[in-house]
Structure formats: C-alpha cells, structure tokens
Structure 1
Amino acid sequence: MLKDLSKSIDECRIKFDEFPFTSDIEITPILAEKLKASIQGIEPNSSVNIYPFSISLTNEKGLRTDLASSSLWFGAAYHEFATYLEQYRVVLETITATLKGLGYSSVNIKSLFKLIPSTDWKNHPDKKLVADFINEIDIFFGVDTISKTLFFRFLDERDWWFKPFSKTGQTTGKTLDRSDAYQSAILLAAKVIVASSDRLSLIIEAFSLNQPLRQAFSHLQPSEISFTESVSTVVESCGINQIYYGAPGTGKSHKIDELATDENSIRTVFHSETQYSDFVGCLKPCMIDGDISYQFRPGPFSLALVKAANDEQPCFLVIEEINRAAAAAVFGDIFQLLDRRADGRSQYSIDVVDADFKGYLETHAASLLVSGKLVLPANLSLLATMNSSDQAVMPMDSAFKRRWQFEYVSIEGDEYPQGDFIINVGTELFAVSWEVLSKVINAQLSEAQIPEDRLLGPWFVSEKELENSQAMLAGKLSMYLWEDVLRHAHREVIFDTEKNPTLYQLIKTIKANGIVFSDVVINELRANGEPITIAEA
C-alpha cells in the first residue's frame, strides 16, 4: 500500500529538526563498512573512501565529491520518504512496461510523462494513450482505492511531493520524463541546495535501502560525546560476555550484526546435542597421503581464540540460541575463563589438560598460553542470543549466568517489516499493516496475562513473507498463536473460536477471507486499519 508522500515529508522534516546534534559524527569502522557496502550496491562503479569524519565519493568518470560526516543526519532523517517515493517509481515503471507491451513507444510515453506532475497530462493529444494509462492504473491497484487516490495525487499535484516550503501552485519544473526528478524531490524535502546535493541524495538512498546501516547509525553519538557506556564501544576496547534475550523476532541477531561481521567473527548455533567436543574441538580421523590419521579438528571456540590471537582488532564468538543446549556443560572448564578483568582479559586461567587442544594452541595461538595456562584475550567478546519462551530450552544455573551481561530486546521496535493483511471485519475488508496487527494481538495477549517473551516481535515475520501475507497468516502466524502461545487457554481473546473451533477450520476461514478474529481484535483493527469495501473487492 502506498504512503502519503506529503505527510512523510512533514514527518521527516520534524525528525531532522528534533535531532539533538548538528555536529560531525565519528564514523566507526562498523558504520563505515555498512555505509560503504550500501553505497557500492547503488553505484558499483564508484569509488568510496570513508574516513572518521568524512566520506569521499569518486564516480566512474573520476569526479570526486567530499561530504562531511554530518551528512549522515540527512540519511537518518529522510530515508523513509526516499523509500516511499521509490514505491511510486516502481509502480510507474510497471505500468510503463505494460504500455510498451500495448505498442506505445518510449518517445510517446515520455511525451506524456513530460506533463507530470500536473493535471495537464490528461490533455495530452494522444487520447487513447491517456485512456490506456488510466485503465492500467485501475487494473494495477484493483480494490486498493486508497493507494490509487494517492497515486493520482502523485501524478496531478506537484506541491504534494515536490514539496516547497510554502504552497506555490507551480506547474512547471522537473517532470517524470527526467531521470533526476525523484532525486530532486528528495533534496527539496530535505531543504538542501548545495553544490554536492546530488551526492547527498545518495547518502539518503543508502540509508533507505540498508536496514543494518540504519541500525548501526542509531547507536552512535556525535564525536564530542563519550561512547563509554554503549556496548558497541566497550567491545571495541575490551572483551565482554553479552547475552541478548527477548521474544521471538525482536531483533536480537540484528543487535549482534551491528558489531560482528563475517570478517571479525566466528558463529555457531547451540542445539540439544551440542557437546564440549563440538564447541572446543576434538581428535578426528582424516586421510593423509592415502592413510588414515588423526588430527585435532578445532571447534568454534578454538577458531575464535586463534582469530583473536592473530588480530589486534575486536573479534567475536557469536552463539545463537545459547540456551538450547546445556550451556554450562558445553563450556566445561572454559566456564572459569568467563570472569573478566577490567581490560577484558580473563580474570583466571585454566590448565589445558587435553594434549591435542594444547598442541593446536601452541601452533596457532601461543600468545594465549601463559605458563601453559589458557586465558581469553582482551579483544575477544562472546555474544549470544536466547529466547526464553522456547519449549526446547535448557535452564542456565546462576553461576553461569553471573558471568554474562544481559540485555533485554524490547517487544516494541522502531521499525517493522512493510506489508499489509486484508482482514474481514464483518461488513468490510480492511487493509491492516503488520505493525498494527502485531501490536493489537500483543495488547490482547498481555491483557490475558500471556508472558511477554511469548508475544510477537517486530521481526517475527520478514518482508519477504509479507509479500504473501495471507499465506503467512494462515501458516506461520496462526500456528504459533494457536499451538504455542494459546495452546492451553485464551484462544478466544484473539480468534473467533465459535466459528473456528479448530486450527483446520481457522486456516480454512483465513483462506476464504472469512472472519477469524475476536470482536475485540476486530474493533481495534477497524480503528487502526483502512477500509476496502467488499463490493469493490
């Protein structure tokens, strides 16, 4: 569903004006990596160099632009408008392709787009082209009358999305036959008129297309503010043991991705069969010159030790689902190493009694052996995730948990995957976003005193799944709520259990676009969704 571009511009401008900082930002290595990757994804032939307080962009013609790091504030503020505007561009490109399939030439279509945005396009001399264009718009949007209305505003009203500081009634200027029309709209929204403004729009687009970049930026402070209390800064100076916990889909792994990359981390996932020998390593048979021999095969812990010992930069051992195994047993004597000194090194050392493990360390990470005893290096951090709501988890004893820092990842997110559900609310069909649906369901589950760690996190579903939202509702979401969260009681607080007494009937009703939710849920969806009449459907 398309969004109101004028409203989005206003919201972005307010967001920018409310930023507490206007100074340059110190671009950390993590942020630099994500920013560079996003820019090169947009302009693969351009050269990007990122410094602590500036960004250097050189295009394929060798022309260079330097931007101050403060330009990132524009990306953080205006990326949402850029995302919404891109949706309109994609719709127009899709309809353009259809018109070409009907036999219209690029030149003819371009002559029509030269009149847009303004109502003059309806007076184009080729009346059949205008009629076919309108017809294809009707076909594209179908029953989504709200999006269709917004799209016609996009075509008719310049001031609605080429938004000046005050109403002008202007009908001339950059039109949709020009490739830079969208870029100009973004820069006008951002109130920017500078020589390098075209490159500034690239920064905004980079933020629009890259969620990890937005997340990494959201954890920064300006250069003159101390970073010492943030986890991202602590791990850059000394190692920690950190567990992120919360409901499914709250973004625990995304938290880790803000720190750990493929280059600086070793990753593993615990499961019910994970053992010490899997985690640390063990002697295994191998073929050498046609003969069977035995060698020590390192596990993720050993690989992380070697990586940290041979790299001065921060390194990470990432453990997903740490409580799906008996964690204390998997760690074994490594348990003792988890106590940290102020500089991040192990407070205590352990004797390496496994001769094969010791030999591996002596060969690959000898600096970690002090008088034959192993210590964790200061640049190695252990980062883990856990879902306390899962049914197949193992309890952690207090002594093990005491050696970790815990960060709760809230059920409420700043961002949600984009996608709408078509919900039958009785006399009408309503378009309801995932954000609205999940919040309404969570509110009812909370009133029924369902534990918070069983509620729906923002990223319980992905944007890919929301491309077919009805299938996701009939499958993953219904199964989780019906069989896991509400297995023993309170199904009626979410679902209309009189009409849908079984999961089979519930899924059947969803596929038929029937009424599946309780009256309370439906009333909330009515208040927060957007109607689509059954007659139009």
Structure 2
Amino acid sequence: MFENNAVIDEQKNKNTGNPPYYQNILFGAPGTGKSFKIDDPEKGYGLKDVDESHKFRTAFHPDYDYAQFVGAYKPKKDGEKITYSFVPQVFAKAYAAAWKLHLTGAADAKVFLVIEEINRGNCAQIFGDIFQLLDRDGSGASQYSIDADYDFAKWLKEESVLKDIWTDYESKVGEGKLKLPPNLNILATMNTSDQSLFPMDSAFKRRFDWEYVPISFEGKDAVNFQIDIDGSQYSWQRFVETVNGKILTLTESEDKQLGEFFIKPDNGNVISKDRFLGKVMFYLWNEVCKDEHKNGSFFRTKDDGYFTFQDLYKPEKKDILNRFMAEIGEK
C-alpha cells in the first residue's frame, strides 16, 4: 500500500538539505511541465505512484475562498426537513487523512495536498488562520497550533477518519487545536506570466521553498514538434528559443516566455496552423506585443512591416504568417 514512499524518499535524498516534508511552490514560464514534474516518478515528486487516497488536488481561482478550501456549514435536505452540517473540502480531507496515517503506525506514508495555480487566488483569504500552521519545526509538524473552527473541529471528532482515534489525536495536538502532521506535504504550481494576479506577501512566500522549473527541451518529446503552416513546416523548438529571446529583449523579463509544452500537437508531432494561431500567436499578441505595437514589437515582417493579430486572418494577407515564421527561424 505504501510502496510509493521509496520513490518519494529517493527524490528527497538527492538533496539532504531538504526538511522531512515538502512545502514547495514550483514556478516558471507557462508550459514548462510544473504539474507533470509533480507527478513524474523519475524526475519529479512521483505522485503518479502515490495511492489515490493519499493525494488531494485543487486549483485556486479569483473566487476561491476559505470555505471552498477548508469546508463550511451547509444546508442539506433530509426528507421534508432542512438540516445543516459541515461539508469538508480539500484541506480538511487531506488534514484528517494525514493525521490518521501518522497516528496508526503508518507515519512514513506521506499525504500530498497539491494546489494548482496558487497565485490565481487570494492566498491570505483562502488560508486564513491556517497560514500560522505553515511554520514547521524540525520534525516537520507545525511549530504553532491554532484554535480549530467549531464546525471543523466537530466534523474531525464525530465524522472524519479520526473519530475512532480521537483521544490519540487530542493528546498529540491539544483539545480544540489544529497542527499539521509531519507527513502532510503541500506542493503548489505558479505560472510566472500570471504572478501579478494576486501578489503574495513576503510572509506567505517565506514559508515555502521555491523551485524554479526552467524551459528545457532536452530529452523531451517537444523537441520533435513541428508547426505546419499551409504545408511549410517549422521547428517548434527553434521557434520557442527564438521568440523567447525576442520576449526577453522586448519586455526585459522572462515572465512571459513560452515553455516547451505551451502547446501540444493536434496529431502526432504536428501543430496545426489553426491551433498555433489560436493559442501561440494570440498569446504573443495579447500578452507580449499588443502594448508595444510599432514600438519594438516583433509582430512584423520585411514585406508587411508591423502587423496586428487581426491581420493574420485577412484573406489578402494569407501568406503573412509564413513570412513571419521564415524571418524568425529557418524552415
């Protein structure tokens, strides 16, 4: 049941400076495979091999709040009556599962809470007082406890997987208290292109280890991707490397660069023109070049001069994309 631990421990032991838990944010350009790295058993954290009951996943968004992250008291129809009960969400489920394993002799079995796109939500609002639990001691448990919300505490005691071992839990944590167990790991992803959506304060940032996931084609399928523009084929790798250099020059930042898996092929290794226009060229125009039009923008060709995204769809300019591709990289 816990054979996945060998994979996780092997990755951890590659850097003996790591604490006995993970509380990491994986960040980088869009399309660098941050979520893939979390699941990858060979070069990442190996969650692909972790028992489904030991991993919990969510994605933050602008309307996400504490109630959606932890849980809330909600109405439920029971026949003709309306009753109310605490409905646990991803954090509450992961918390109870981790303590259950920790207290029943399976302390080495790790539980993972994965938060995709952590910066797309208001972390201060979502975590609330749970923020205090992110400070860990040498064993990996929370250094400080907090008072549990009444409804959350009642659910833990009477309905969660901890109800049969509640006395053991209270003796470890304290009556009406919450503390993270050392086997509860928190992994999150963040696109640098979206980092200004909900800025994180420094107090929140310093409670995580930050792991940069660089743009790299080495040993990856993306090295073979080809872009097909009306029968002409262009190397996706060559395009990405060239355009990323132009993005850096134009914006003086790496935040908006393209990752190797920014787009996936329609068929085999071929990226179609329509897919390329709708995902890649629109991104480059909307996120990088639009505000710099005719002021250093690389949306230009020798024959056409500066052009807009709309120009790419005009019948009279049907060859403009091929001319653009030919100028920024060889066929």
2:262 matches 1:460: yes
Instruction: Summarize the Cα distance change of 1:440–1:510 in structure 2 as closer, same or farther, 3 Å threshold.
Output: farther
Structure 1 spans left out of the alignment, 5+ residues: 1-27, 33-215, 530-537
State the alpha-carbon separation in 2 of the partners of residues 511 and 250 from structure 1: 33
Report the Cα offset of residue 240 of structure 1: 2.5
Deviations 1:213-253 (A, max 9, x none): xxx9xx968xxxx925179xx58xx3221101111111111
| Whole-Å separation in 2 of the counterparts to 1:257 and 1:508 | 43
Matched, 1:227 2:13: yes
Counterparts of 2:261 and 2:316 in 1: how far apart (Å)?
A: 22
1:298 Cα deviation after fit = 0.5
Return closer, same or farther for 1:508/1:257 CA change in 2, 3 Å cut-off.
farther
How far residue 513 of structure 1 moved from its aligned partner, in angstroms, is: 4.5
Q: Is the 8 A contact 2:301 2:327 kept in 1?
A: no
Match of 2:82 in 1: 292
CA contact (8 A) 1:271 1:324 kept: yes
Change (3 A) 1:230 1:316: farther
Question: Would you say 1:398 and 2:202 are equivalent positions?
Answer: yes
The CA deviation at 1:31 is 8.5
How much has 1:403 moved relative to structure 2? 0.6
Do the aligned partners of 1:420 and 1:431 also contact (CA within 8 Å) in 2? yes
C-alpha distance 405-392 of structure 1, shift in aligned 2 (>3 A): closer
In the alignment of these two chains, the number of paired residues is: 300
State which of 141, 153, 156 in structure 2 corresponds to 1:345.
Answer: 141
Q: Say whether the 8 Å CA contact 1:325–1:394 is kept in structure 2.
A: yes
Question: What secondary structure does 2:154 align onto?
Answer: helix
User: What secondary structure is seen at the aligned counterpart in 2 of 1:347?
Assistant: coil
Shift of 1:316: 0.5
Q: Secondary structure at the match of 2:137?
A: coil
Give the C-alpha shift of residue 308 in structure 1. 1.1
* Greater fraction helix: 1
For 2:179, the aligned partner's letter is: V
Secondary structure at 1:463's aligned position in 2? coil
Cα separation, 1, equivalents of 2:317 and 2:271: 12
Q: What CA distance in whole angstroms lies between the structure 2 residues aligned with 1:486 and 1:513?
A: 20
Distance 1:309 1:517, change over 3 A: farther
Asked if the contact 1:495/1:517 (under 8 Å) is kept, the reply is: no
1:506 counterpart residue number: 312
Structure 1 equivalent of residue 291 of structure 2: 488
* TM-score, structure 1 as length reference: 0.51
Query: In structure 2, what is the equivalent of residue 422 of structure 1?
Result: 228
CA deviations over 1:354-395 (Å, ceiling 9, x no partner): 211111122323355422221101110011111232277101
The corresponding residue for 1:174 is none
Report the secondary structure of 1:243's partner residue. strand
User: Amino acid of the residue matched to residue 312 of structure 2?
Assistant: L
Distance 1:273 1:347, change over 3 A: same
In 1, the alpha carbon distance for the partners of 2:186 and 2:260 equals 25
Aligned to 2:23, which of 218, 241, 244? Answer: 241
1:357 to 2:152 alignment: yes
Equivalent of 2:276, from 473, 479, 485? 473
Q: Over residues 433-480 of structure 1, what are the superposed CA-to-partner deviations in whole Å (9 max), with x where a residue is unaligned?
A: 211211121122223344212000011012347644211122111110
- Superposed counterparts of 1:323-338, under 5 Å: 323-338=119-134
Deviations 1:162-215 (A, max 9, x none): xxxxxxxxxxxxxxxxxxxxxxxxxxxxxxxxxxxxxxxxxxxxxxxxxxxxxx
Change (3 A) 1:468 1:250: closer
Does the residue aligned with 1:448 lie in a helix, a strand or coil? Answer: helix
Give the direction of change, closer, same or farther, for the CA distance of 1:510–1:255 in structure 2 (3 Å limit). Answer: farther
1:390 partner amino acid:
D
- Tell whether the 8 Å contact from 2:27 to 2:191 is kept in structure 1 after alignment: yes
Distance apart, 1:482 and its partner CA: 0.6
Alpha-carbon contact 1:245-1:388 (below 8 Å) kept: yes
The residue type paired with residue 262 of structure 2 is F
TM-score relative to the length of structure 2 = 0.80
How far, CA to CA, are the matches of 2:178 and 2:122 in structure 1?
23
Aligned mates of 1:230, 1:254 — CA distance in 2: 23
Cα 1:386–1:350 change in 2 (3 A) is same
1:306 to 82, 92, 96: 96
User: Partner of 1:318: helix, strand, or coil?
Assistant: strand
Matched residue type, 2:88:
P
What amino acid maps onto 1:317 in structure 2?
L
Q: Identify which of 33, 36, 41 aligns with 1:254.
A: 36
Gap regions ≥5 residues in structure 2 = none
Q: 1:421 to 1:31 in 2, by over 3 A?
A: farther
Distance 1:343 1:495, change over 3 A: farther
Preserved CA contact (<8 Å) 1:246 1:387: yes
Which residue identity lines up with residue 297 of structure 1 in the other structure?
Answer: V
Q: Could you tell me which of 368, 379, 398 is aligned with 2:183?
A: 379
Q: Among all aligned residue pairs of Structure 1 and Structure 2, give the percentage whose two residues are the same amino acid.
A: 36
Residue in 1 that maps onto 2:4: 29
Q: 1:515 to 1:280 in 2, by over 3 A?
A: closer
Change (3 A) 1:301 1:419: same
Within 1, Cα distance between the matches of 2:274 and 2:198?
32
Task: Return the structure number with greater relative CO, CA threshold 8 A, min gap 6.
Answer: 2
Distance, in Å, in 2 between the alignment partners of 1:347 and 1:525 is 54
SS at 2:186's partner residue? strand
Between Structure 1 and Structure 2, the one with more strand by share is: 2
